[in-house]
Amino acid sequence: MAMSQRNLMLAGGGALAALVVGWAVLGQVADGKAEAAIVQALDEHGMRDQVHWKSVSASPFGGSVRLDEVNITGVLGNADMRIARVDIDDFIDEPRRKRAEVQMHGVSTSDGFSPLGEVEFVQASGRSQLPPAKLTMAWHMDLDDDTMTLAVALEQPDVMTARLDLALERVGALARLSEGGAAPSAFALPDRPRGRRGGPPPGMMGMGMAFQWLETMGEVRLKHLEAGLRDDGYVKRSIALHKRYAIPVSPADGKAAAQRDTRFKADIEKAQRDCERDLPVTDVGARRKACTTLTEFISGETASIRLTLSPQRPVSVSEIVEQAMQAPARLAPLLRPEIGS
């Protein structure tokens, strides 16, 4: 398995481990059974020997818990993951309503660098040893309304900040998954080994959870999506590398920097034309505006970009995948995307 895939899965497994610990503490702190609850929850998820922490503190009244110096070992192969601090706040775990905000500060591998530094896309900007990352997740599930909102933000210093906000409905299957069972869906996969509660076997936590979520997401419907990126050095470094190594210069044509700037400007103008030709947006004005926003971002003129999906009706994930595979041209009218800065 490629190192980039390995570290991404490690990060996913580490995040799950931290959530399991925090959830157990919040659920049991009022009657003094937090430590036993942690051990039991980790054992049920096949992680009892993999997760260690320096200290745990919780408030049963404020619905909050803090874990310091969390270490997750052997999540995938021999790789380790460290989280300097995990904060879980605004915790509600009722039968019909679930809510929480989780912040993971200082996410790194055992060498002290962010696991994202091993991702090929990130390395393309010339950096692999990156400061630890921060991951924030917040969700609110209301099963009476059969709706859920989810917000995820990833802050990687010296690269980018990424965020994703989702509004979903038909989320009952997700609730069943969180309780250890998943209903069949349009994405059902062949039988595979499972842990004690139907989850992945030990050592396959990240991949197993991904499979379970994929199976369950088919019936979930998308109401709204907004995703955004803010550059923190990635784009500027990438442009500098592109000019230096991808654009040839000639001593007979003057200063090298001026030649590179001229060629880069021409490349961006061509990217604009190609985008206006190929972007699957019917309205010409909207297509030109979206392409301008894209080229301004990749050229470094603006530091942020945003994608919004606002379908006229909630669309199931299985329908989105089906259209993407069989009739991609139908996706834009279905999802009504907008690109802005």
pLDDT confidence band for 147 (50 / 70 / 90): very high
Residue at 101 is within a domain:
yes
Q: What are phi and psi of 175, to 5 degrees?
A: -65, -40
- In a shared domain, residues 142 and 290: no
pTM, two decimal places = 0.78
- In a shared domain, residues 132 and 193: yes
Q: Which of 15-24, 40-49, 83-92, 172-181 has the lowest mean pLDDT?
A: 15-24
Residue at 138 is within a domain:
yes
Residue at 21 is within a domain:
yes
- In a shared domain, residues 258 and 329: yes
Beta bridge partners of 140: 99, 149
Q: How many whole angstroms from its chain centre is CA 107? A: 14
- In a shared domain, residues 201 and 247: no
Predicted pLDDT at 37: 61
- In a shared domain, residues 177 and 236: no
Over the stretch 91-137, which tens digit does the pLDDT of each residue have? Answer: 777 788 888 888 999 999 888 999 898 888 899 899 989 999 999 99
Count of domains forming the chain: 2
CA dist 289 and 135 (Å) reads 32
Predicted pLDDT at 294: 95
Are 108 and 114 in contact by the 8 Å Cβ rule? The answer is: yes
Pick from 147, 135, 199, 152: which is nearest to 175 by CA? 147
What are the DSSP calls for 72-96, one per residue? EEEEETTEEEEEEEEEEEEEEE-SS
- In a shared domain, residues 129 and 66: yes
CA dist 314 and 324 (Å) reads 16
CA dist 28 and 239 (Å) reads 52
CA dist 210 and 180 (Å) reads 14
Predicted pLDDT at 62: 59
Q: Evaluate if residue 193 carries a pLDDT over 60.
A: no
- In a shared domain, residues 264 and 207: no
Predicted pLDDT at 198: 45
Residue at 291 is within a domain:
yes
Residue at 246 is within a domain:
yes
Q: How many whole angstroms from its chain centre is CA 201? A: 23
Q: Which residue among 217, 239, 257 closes a domain?
A: 217
More confident residue, 155 or 194: 155
- In a shared domain, residues 109 and 205: yes
More confident residue, 17 or 10: 17
Q: Which of 60-64, 224-228, 283-287 has the highest mean pLDDT?
A: 224-228
Q: Evaluate if residue 189 carries a pLDDT over 50.
A: no
pLDDT confidence band for 54 (50 / 70 / 90): confident
More confident residue, 317 or 2: 317
CA dist 218 and 235 (Å) reads 35
175: containing domain? 3-151+168-217
Residue at 199 is within a domain:
yes
- In a shared domain, residues 270 and 239: yes
Residues 6+ apart with CB under 8 A from 33: none
Residue at 156 is within a domain:
no
Q: Evaluate if residue 29 carries a pLDDT over 60.
A: no
Are 205 and 47 in contact by the 8 Å Cβ rule? The answer is: yes
Over the stretch 168-184, which tens digit does the pLDDT of each residue have? Answer: 999 887 777 666 554 44
- In a shared domain, residues 241 and 179: no
Q: Evaluate if residue 212 carries a pLDDT over 70.
A: no
Residue at 203 is within a domain:
yes
pLDDT confidence band for 39 (50 / 70 / 90): low
- In a shared domain, residues 58 and 112: yes
pLDDT, averaged across the chain: 80
Say what percent of the chain tops pLDDT 70: 73
More confident residue, 209 or 281: 281
- In a shared domain, residues 178 and 253: no
Residues 6+ apart with CB under 8 A from 158: 127, 130, 131, 232, 233, 234
